[in-house]
Amino acid sequence: MDKVIVADNLSLAYSKDETIINKVSFSIDSGSFVFITGASGSGKSTLLKSLYGALKPNEGSLVVAGVELRGVTKSKLNLLRKHTGIVFQDYKLVKEWTIEKNIMLPLIISGYDKTIQQNQVDTLLKHVRLKHQAGKYPQELSGGEQQRVAMARALSHNPVLILADEPTGNLDDYSSQLIWNLLEGANTDLKSTVIVVTHHIPESMGIDYKHFHIEYGSIHEVS
């Protein structure tokens, strides 16, 4: 099976004195569903940031979808991000844009036709049960609704890789279940590789998944 992520002796740090991830090696198969768990401050989110190029490797190599992220150029990084859907813990929605336009963002960046953009947004709004909120602004929605918008945005351009940082943290059961269903659907229907950073793996997962655990700067697969 093709590898979508290959890390070799990878070290990540925000400063020279503070190494968060220390010389880890792992790989993730294309089309798999992966959970990354670990205690608070263990480096889960840091690792996820490195996967979309927001944090460059200090040591070793990190290849995501064929792109070596150590010393990656801006244009190559943009290309990788165009094929990646990211769900942030703090949603990162554009405040001055409507829900509809926020979901449209990856499609605008990828240069899709306006009709395709609108059709895709309409479909996703139905999936996240927010069709009636399309014209509203993010700050007019609850936290759960904002996270559903962020999820719809991450899926809008059918990405090959979906990275989700605690997508259900602090959400009610209804929103959480909706998000897990969408992530499962993206993995099974779109064949996207899904990597989720979380504290708790939901018990109701209906698909096979892999589980990596981060502890003391190293990562190991939990069987």
Question: What residue ranges bind another protein (CB under 8 A)?
Answer: 14, 49, 52, 54-55, 74-75, 77-84, 86, 92-97, 105-106, 108-110, 137, 153
Q: Output the CA torsion sign for 111, 115, 116, 119.
A: positive
Q: How far is the CB of 36 from another protein (least distance, A)?
A: 19
Closer residue to another protein in complex, CB, 57/176: 57
Q: How far is the CB of 151 from another protein (least distance, A)?
A: 14
Q: How far is the CB of 84 from another protein (least distance, A)?
A: 8
Closer residue to another protein in complex, CB, 97/209: 97
Q: How far is the CB of 38 from another protein (least distance, A)?
A: 20
Q: How far is the CB of 27 from another protein (least distance, A)?
A: 24
Q: Judge contact between 162 and 194, C-beta under 8 A.
A: yes
Within 10 A of 85 (CB to CB), how many other CB atoms are there? 27
Q: Is 89 exposed, middle or buried (0-12, 13-18, 19+ CB in 10 A)?
A: middle
Rounded distance between C-alpha atoms, residue 89 and residue 106, angstroms: 18
Q: How far is the CB of 142 from another protein (least distance, A)?
A: 20
CA angle 22, 23, 28 (to 5 degrees): 110
Closer residue to another protein in complex, CB, 157/178: 157
Residues in the chain: 223
Closer residue to another protein in complex, CB, 90/221: 90
How is residue 48 written in tokens?
Answer: 């996820």
Query: What does DSSP assign to residue 12?
Result: E
Q: How many CA atoms lie within 13 A of 79 on its CB side?
A: 11
Closer residue to another protein in complex, CB, 44/176: 44
Q: Judge contact between 37 and 30, C-beta under 8 A.
A: no
At a CB cut-off of 8 Å and minimum separation 6, what does 215 contact?
A: 38, 39, 42
Closer residue to another protein in complex, CB, 67/190: 67
